[in-house]
Structure formats: structure tokens, C-alpha cells
Structure 1
Amino acid sequence: MSQTQPPPSSPPHEDQVRDHTFDGIQEYDKRLPNWWLATFYGAMVFWVGFWFYYERAHLGPSNAERLEQQMAVIEAARLAAAPALDDASLWKMSRNAVFIDAGRATFASTCASCHSAKLTGGIGPNLVDQLWIHGGKPSEVYQTITDGVLVKGMPAWGPVLGTKKVSELAAFILSHHQENEPIEKQEAWIPIAPAS
């Protein structure tokens, strides 16, 4: 006696079997998981935003710009690790944006009160003209910052700032000059009163 059992009724939340059969295999009409759908739609939204930001609006740096920035950082690290600071390496540092930016920040906090934010002088001498009191060669500029000129009221910044910051400061000052410009010796500095 064979008893035929009726198929159990499937609850409403169960997956439905499709009518399609292949090699005796039935397919379920299964819904994709929510985590998968969220990941898929999130990736599409991210792609559209990324495409617009970089390709259409050009708000982000290009590959060439990012490469140039990374190369400047690498060059700055290489020059900072260089044991000897000669005129050639100081000139090279003065053309590197990483050194110039760091030197600008140090200048603003330690030197601008005497030499002005534009390096045009005040209590201290003008640093953007071709007249130099203590020498205009890069090594002389570096040495003047390091040792100071106590007779004129400039402290020795070498012990305070260290070699790295002094070289960045020299690079910032030299960035306002050309490598082959004439250097004129100025005998004395007479401070001028700031403009009212």
C-alpha cells in the first residue's frame, strides 16, 4: 500500500521553484542578498562620483601631477639625507617645492618679524635684492643663518632649528634669486622704519 503524501505547502517567504528544468535540475527564483545589492549599488555610485571628480570636473590631481608631487617628496628626502650641503645642492633645494614650503613656514615663524613677510627688510636687511652683507652664495646664506650675526642682532638659528630647517630656510630665501645673478657686496645695513 503506497501512500501518496501531498506536497507540503511552502510558506510565503520560501523561494519559488521555476518551471525551467535542465538535465533534471530545477532552478530557484532566489532573491539576491541585500548585502550584495548594497555593495553593487554603492560601487556604481562611487564610480559615477569618481568619474565626475577626476574626468569631467578635473577637481583632483592628474596622474602626472601626483607623480610630480611624489617625486618632489622623494627628491626632498634624498637631498635632506645628503651629508654635505654645497652650493649646487642648496640651489637644487631652492627649486624643490617641498623645501620651499617648509622654509616659508619656518621663515614666517622665526624671520618675518625682522626681514618682513615679503623678505624686503625692516629691522633686518632686504633678502630679495642682489645686495648681500654677509655673502650671497648659497653656502654663505646657509652659514649666516646657522651662525647668526650677533653684532647686528641676528641670533644663531643653527642650534635652535637644526640642519634640516636651516637648509629649508636657505632654500626658501634662495628661491627668490637666480643661480647666476650678480652678487653685490653691501658694507653696512641701516634699518628702515616700517611703512605706516
Structure 2
Amino acid sequence: MNPEIKRGSYAKEKGEVILREHEFDGIQEFDQKLPNWWLFTFYGGIVWFVGYWVLYYYTGIYQTDQKGIEQQLAAIQEKKDQELAATLATLDDQTLVAKWAADPSIVAAGATTYGTNCAACHAADLSATLEAGGNKVPLPGRPLNDGHWEYGGKPMEIFKLINEGTPAASAGYNGARMQAWGQVLSPKQVAELTAYLISMNPKDFGN
């Protein structure tokens, strides 16, 4: 063993080399004194972490990610509610039938929304069936062209159903409940979709 290498607890002087008493398979560990800059950095990191943790979780000075997301969602919902209220203020049964459903551009926009979001369950022709091998295969949704409106056949009732989804007290259609499309579509899109359904069922809304 190199005579300069000593055995002890740890090095107390710069450049002093110390080996631990412990030995395993002929291997010993160095036990040198760490540089002061490293120790200051290490202990400073611990102090910083504890201080930041207390400030972040207990003082309210910093906003947690969860609270930030909740505030953003609340702001989005508030904006949606305001937009819905503004749209509802301009709508009634007569307006949807005589104005919205009579406007080709509005009906076309509603048809696009229907094809993107509704046709998978109600079919492109509103029959809620799919042609397969010469047979009619039923889809999950209700037919929208049979004159039967389960939750109310007035235009504003249909608007509400699309916007809020199947009523909570209802079991749905064959156990399937329609989602609240107002969480996905804007109030204007819901109104356009309602106008499209009205235009496709003139006998139901002729008056």
C-alpha cells in the first residue's frame, strides 16, 4: 500500500487521501472531504427546495398546475354560457322554422355538422340504419325522419336536446344515451344543426 494513503474517517486537509476501513474483495472506498463549492450547492439546493415547496403549496403565492387548469376550464365554460345565452336570446320556435331552416347557407352548415358528428349513429339519411348486404342494420341512434321526437318535437326542445344530451332521468335509446353536444359544438352550430333537422322534416314543422 502507498505509504501516503492513510486510513481514517475522512480527509480533513486538502489533498489528503483517505481510504475507508471497510474492504470487500480487495476493494476499498475513498473517503475524501467534498469541495466546499459542492457542499454549498448541495445544501443550498435542499434549502431552496423546502422553501419553494412551502411557498408553492401552503402560501398561495404560486398557483398550482391543477388550479391553473381549473381556472382555464371555468373561463372557457363561462364564455360558452355567455355565448349560449346570447344565442338563445335570438331564438324561438318560429325563428328556427321560418328563418334558420329557410336559409340554404344555414341548412348547409347544419348538414356539414350532422355529417361530421351525427351520421355515425343516426345515418346520413336520418334513418338510423345502414345498408349492408341488402339488409338494413340498425345504428345506435334514434331515427330522425320518422316523425317521432321522444323528448319534445318543438324546435327549441330539439335544440335543447342536442345541446344538453339525453335527459338524466331517461334510460336512452336501447340503453344508449346521446352526449351533450353543447360541450363540443358552439351554440350557433347547434342551432344550425337544429335548422337542418327541421328542413329535413317539413311535415313535422310545417306550422
TM-score (norm 2): 0.46
Relative contact order higher in (CA < 8 Å, ≥ 6 apart) = 1
Which TM-score applies when normalising by structure 1? 0.48
